[in-house]
Amino acid sequence: MRPSEAAHLAREALARGDSAQAGAIAERLLAEFASYPPARLVRALLAEQANDSDSALDDLRAVTSVEPTNAEARAAQARLFQRRGDTDRARMAARQAVELVPTDPEVLATALEILNVEADSLETSAAVLARVHLNCGWPDLAERHARAAVTESPERVDVRLTLAEALWRLGRLPACEAECRVVADQAEECVRAAVMRAHILSERGRTAEGQELLDRIGRIDPEFREARELLGTLEVHRLVLPGAVEVSLPPEILRQSNGSDNPSAESPPAGGADSSAAPAAEPTPANVERERLAEFSGESADQTLPPPTDRDLPESEVSDDADASSPSAGDDAPVAPEPLRRDDSAGPQESPDVGEPSADAAPRTAEDATADSVAADDEPTAGASFSTFDWARHLIEQSEWTEAVRVLTDIVAANDPDEARVDGLLLEAVAHRELRGSAWKLLGDHYMQTGRPQAAADAYLRAANVAGRSTG
């Protein structure tokens, strides 16, 4: 299970009042990724419920250090400060939450309540305008307002980060780097700033350093969501995004989450195999072997073009997209295209045997590819937990491009309310040359569905460019 899915389960448990389960999942996640913001946020909310405001504020401080633009954390801070009677700080945090333009109505409602204003009577500050313009894809306007906002509130790290991102999107990398440094001074674990710095390093020819920095981000953001989001907007970059790490939850938690007593619904039947593998999972993606696998497996983990620079693996030549789309060495069981996935250290310890491929138990390593390709046919029906999203990822991993496009099209047509999830999947898809044109088009469709025409226009343009390139 991906950490974000586990965190989602924790939030669900929290929402239905099952604090024990929410806490158990959060602790399980934090045991592997000590700074993972969604888990820290859950823990903070639990502490808030338990009237332990010190612990809650500690966790929230950690969350906002990693994600200075996390509006929910700011709103929670505001609530806690208000509960302590610290009105000034409560209002400041609430204002920050509002100015981060939260999409969650509850977050907005909390902040507005603390500010004691109606949404209509909020004054439009430079910070809000900067955020809105950045969200709309207008970095030049965002930069102008962000500069004004920085002048007004130089201590606000979220505003600095907005400015840094606007500069990054404008390609003004030296200025962006300077702002990232300021951000890092105040929020040293800030993932977004680190991603931009990693990219800047790689653009300066220091790809290895950039890659190392990016890999370190995996300890905090194991799914590299922010990196995918940022780097996905680039036509070309030299960084390799490691594959998603997975976590295993104890079967009893999964059963409770499923609301089912069927132990096979989510967890592997070999119980101990999975749980024994989990502690051995190496959460750090800075793993040379895995990098080699990533290179070897083509660009599945790469957002765009494979880096031609200082990655001196000869396999990278061999396993470029064109090769990945056709079985290597004339075999019908593709070995090389089995893409990057969780850490190798965990993979072999998992039981690859008997076909009980839950969502989490998708093929683990390249060497398992043959067995998995056999099991793959059963996967959509074998487990109820195998979602369309998992299926799409599986097809992509198996280089079944036509079918992958069909499934991705279905996903977009279904208009899943979890926009970010669809965004993430499609941004993963555009990393594959064979899917790029279709995936950009689908991303455009999805952006249109979700009321983001500027982003849609950009995605459609990219799709048109891909089509133009392939025909020209």
Partner 1 sequence: MRALDLHEAMRRLPDITGAAVWRIGEIPTGDLGGRGGPVGPGLLSASIGTMEQAVETMGLGQIAEIWFVTQDTQCLALRSGHWQAVVVGGLEMDVDDIRDRLTGLLADDDEPGA
Helix (H) or strand (E) holding 63, with range, is helix 53-66
Min separation Cβ 283 and partner 1, Å: 39
Q: How far is the CB of 299 from partner 1 (least distance, A)?
A: 23
| Nearest to partner 1 of 340, 455 (CB atom) | 455
**Residue 200: in which H helix or E strand, if any?**
helix 191-203
By CB under 8 A, residue 388 contacts partner 1: no
Long-range contacts of 24-33 (CB under 8 A, 24+ apart): 24/250, 24/253, 25/249, 25/253, 28/247, 28/249, 28/250, 28/253, 29/3, 29/247, 32/3, 32/222, 32/245, 32/247, 32/278, 32/281, 32/283, 33/3, 33/219, 33/220, 33/222, 33/283
Q: Which is nearer to partner 1, 132 or 170 (CB)?
A: 132
Q: Supply the minimum distance, in Å, between the C-beta of residue 448 and partner 1.
A: 6
Minimum CB separation of residue 189 from partner 1 in Å reads: 33
Q: Minimum CB separation from partner 1 for residue 411, in Å?
A: 13
Closest by CA position to 430, among listed 338, 297, 305, 295 = 305
For partner 1, the closer CB: 330 or 451: 451
If the CB atoms of residues 349 and 449 are measured against partner 1, the closer one turns out to be 449
Inter-residue contact 296 to 311 (CB < 8 Å): no
Residues 83-122 vs partner 1: string with x where CB under 8 A?
Answer: ----------------------------------------
Q: In this complex, which beta carbon is closest to partner 1, that of residue 391 or of residue 447?
A: 447
Least distance between partner 1 and beta carbon 310 (Å): 36
Closest alpha carbon to 190 in 208, 166, 165, 171: 165
Measure the CA–CA gap between 359 and 385, rounded to whole angstroms: 6
Q: How far is CA 89 from CA 92, 162, 170, 230, 264, in A?
A: 5, 21, 34, 31, 49
The CB density around residue 468, as the number of other CB atoms within 10 Å, is: 10
Q: Which of 30, 117, 136, 371 is in the footprint of partner 1 by CB under 8 A?
A: 136
Cβ nearer to partner 1, comparing 78 with 128: 128
CB of 454 to partner 1, least distance (A): 5
Q: Which is nearer to partner 1, 128 or 346 (CB)?
A: 128
Please work out the total of residues on this chain that contact partner 1, with binding judged by CB under 8 A.
Answer: 25
CB of 232 closer than 8 Å to CB of 447: no
User: 244 near 2, Cβ under 8 Å?
Assistant: yes
- Contact pattern for partner 1 over residues 442 through 471, marking x by CB under 8 A: --xx-xxxxx-xx-xx-xxx-xx--x----
Note the residues at the interface with partner 1 (CB under 8 A): 132-133, 136, 138, 412-413, 415, 441, 444-445, 447-451, 453-454, 456-457, 459-461, 463-464, 467
